[in-house]
Amino acid sequence: MPAMSEETTHFGYREVPENEKAKLVGRVFTSVAAKYDVMNDLMSFGAHRLWKRFFVATSGVREGDVVLDLAGGTGDIAALLLRRVGAKGAVVVGDINAEMLHVGRNRMLDRGNVRGLDYAQLDAESLPFPDRSFDCVTMAFGLRNVTHKERALAEIHRVLKVGGRALILEFSRVRAEILKPLYDFHSFQVLPRIGRLVAGDEESYRYLAESIRKHPDQETLKAMMETAGFARVDVRNLAAGIVAIHRGYRV
């Protein structure tokens, strides 16, 4: 009998078996974890910090809220969320990569951020939480690395309370035509070289640049969120669409 064809997906510009993508992505983030924030500063000229602050400032998170921060990595978003949820609220930092969680937890401890924080190594496609557990779920620069994005969106919808909101901050499709050649040059010529010099890893940063191009554009991701059950989905472009914030509600 002929061999059954194996489902594939993209890992950057490569096609790989679906069941291998998570492992490959894991290797990327294990490799870059120690230099992740330094590289983010260099890659975005520090703009990622402004994007993240705006993301949280416009999140609608209030005192007493319980928030799940997926792909929480080194804790940048969680640190900002903690200030908003206050002593009566809580933030759960979730990430599939143990090394990223380790780096983030140590950083939060160094800052004195302990109360109201929990950590969970998890897969966004299968969240280990009951239905209707969170007032808000955030995910910054993580969705594009998920193998089955539609499953992750469905899981986010499931764990939200009625009236809760999902907020996704992710690289998206540049809107200004004049910026596209410069952005491509930075992504494919400059970024991998910086990765080699600073993090000792050119290939991981080449993958990250490629993964941005393979990620759904603003309209496609909006439609995916609506298919997952989210209502009142809106999109806000930042930096001419280099990044975008998608927001949707569970009703």
Domains of the chain from N-terminus onward: 8-249 (3.40.50.150)
> Is 39 within 8 Å of 205 (Cβ atoms)?
yes
Structure tokens at 28: 């990327």
Phi, psi (rounded to 5 degrees) for 191: -55, -50
Separation of alpha carbons 174 and 154, rounded Å: 27
SS3 content of the chain, % helix, strand, coil (to 5): 50, 25, 25
The per-residue pLDDT string of the chain (251 residues; one tens digit each, 9 = 90 and over) reads 444 446 899 888 888 899 888 888 888 888 887 777 788 888 888 899 999 999 999 999 999 999 999 999 889 999 999 999 999 999 999 999 999 999 899 989 988 888 999 999 999 999 999 999 999 999 999 999 999 999 999 999 999 999 999 999 999 999 999 999 999 999 999 988 988 888 888 888 899 889 999 999 999 999 999 999 999 999 999 999 999 999 999 99
Q: What is the pTM of this model?
A: 0.90
Helix/strand number for the chain, H first, E second: 10, 9
